[in-house]
Amino acid sequence: MKTDLEEIIDQVLIDEESLNKRIKKLANQVNEYYEDKNELVLVGILKGSIMFMAQLAKSIKINCTLEFMDVSSYEDGTESSGNVKIIKDLDTDISGKEVLIVEDIIDTGRTLDALRHSLIKRGANSVKIITLLDKPERRVIEIKPDWTGFKIPNEFVVGYGLDYQQKYRNLPFIGVLKREVYE
């Protein structure tokens, strides 16, 4: 069943060209920051970060490995509890390595803060955060990403990895979902 985008998307918040340009700039900043470091591990948070991480990794010019974690802190399904449950863990040891958490969006900050502390306890040299989208209005835990693609308003967004009920991740842009779709 094909869905007409006009029925679900209120507006395109960030178009594909803007995403590509910004991610390229972020990759250049990452390259510069880590140029003299060893053992960079990109840790993508599934499933939302996959498109951002793939695009970012293509422009990283230093040696790095790609890892993924699937974590959940939504015990009741609507609000993050901050109690992180690891569904899929890292496949490699990160002790002594530089870790860059690759996130699609930072909302309350609860899950990301708990995850960052967990990775630090595992012996990483450093744990930095890069996010495609940041919603500072929703922040409950004081956490600041090291690199941010775009600060966005408190809207329900989909596309470029972000979903609603596992749909719309494949959109090549970030769009605001119409309220009637999710309410």
Q: What tens digit of pLDDT does each residue of 37-63 get?
A: 878 999 999 999 999 999 999 999 999
Residue 124: Cβ within 10 Å count: 22
Q: What is the average pLDDT value for the chain, to the nearest integer?
A: 91
pLDDT for 183 equals 83
Residue 31: Cβ within 10 Å count: 14
The domain ranges of the chain are 19-73+83-151
**CA-CA distance, 180 to 58, in Å (whole number)?**
37
pTM given for the model: 0.92
**CA-CA distance, 66 to 123, in Å (whole number)?**
18
**CA-CA distance, 52 to 43, in Å (whole number)?**
12
The catalytically annotated residue of 76, 93, 107, 146 is 107
Residue 141: Cβ within 10 Å count: 14
Q: Which amino acid is at 29?
A: Q
Instruction: Specify whether the CB–CB gap between 83 and 108 falls below 8 A.
Output: no
pLDDT digits (tens, 9 = 90+) for 76-104: 544 555 577 889 999 999 999 999 999 99
Average pLDDT in the 9-19 region? 97
Please name the fold of domain 19-73+83-151. Rossmann fold (3.40.50)
pLDDT for 79 equals 55
pLDDT for 1 equals 46
**CA-CA distance, 45 to 146, in Å (whole number)?**
16
**CA-CA distance, 82 to 75, in Å (whole number)?**
9
The mean-pLDDT minimum among 92-101, 109-118, 123-132 falls in 109-118
Q: Is the pLDDT assigned to residue 116 strictly greater than 80?
A: yes
Tell me whether residue 107 is one of the annotated catalytic residues. Answer: yes
Q: Is the peptide bond before 21 cis (omega within 30 degrees of 0)?
A: no
Ordered DSSP codes for 90-130: -SS--TTSEEEEEEEEESSSHHHHHHHHHHHHTT-SEEEEE
Q: How confident is the model at residue 167 (pLDDT cuts 50, 70, 90)?
A: very high
Residue whose token pair is 């990283």: 60
